[in-house]
Amino acid sequence: MVKVKFFAALRERLNCAELTLDCGPNETLATLRARLVDLHPSWQTELHDKDVLCAKNFSFCGWQDRVSAGDELAFFPPVTGG
C-alpha cells in the first residue's frame, strides 16, 4: 500500500486530503496517477495539469520514478511566495 496525499488548492478541487492504494511491482508515479484517474474520472484535468508536482517520501520526484509499498506520495500545485 502507498499513502497518497493532496495539498493546497489541489486538495480543495479534488475534495480529498489523502487515500491509500495498493502498489504493483512495477508501479511508477505515472501509472499510479493513471489508476487514480480510472478510480476518479473527474480528477483527470487536475492530476494531468502540467504544473502539478509530486513528492515521494518528502523529496521531489519525476513521473517515471518507481513507487514501492510503504511510500508516501504527495501531489500539489506549484507553490509561489512573496
Q: Where are the domains of the chain?
A: 2-76
pLDDT for res 78: 80
Per-chain mean pLDDT for the chain: 93
Walk along the chain (82 residues) and give the pLDDT tens digit of each residue: 999 999 999 999 999 999 999 998 899 999 999 999 999 999 999 999 999 999 999 999 999 999 999 999 999 988 755 5
Q: How far is CA 9 from CA 20, 65, 76, in A?
A: 20, 24, 8
What's the pTM value of the predicted model, to 2 decimals?
A: 0.89
Distance CA 32, CA 2 (A): 10
pLDDT for res 74: 96
Phi and psi at residue 71, to the nearest 5°: -70, 155
pLDDT for res 30: 95
Q: Does domain 2-76 have CATH number 3.50.50.60?
A: no
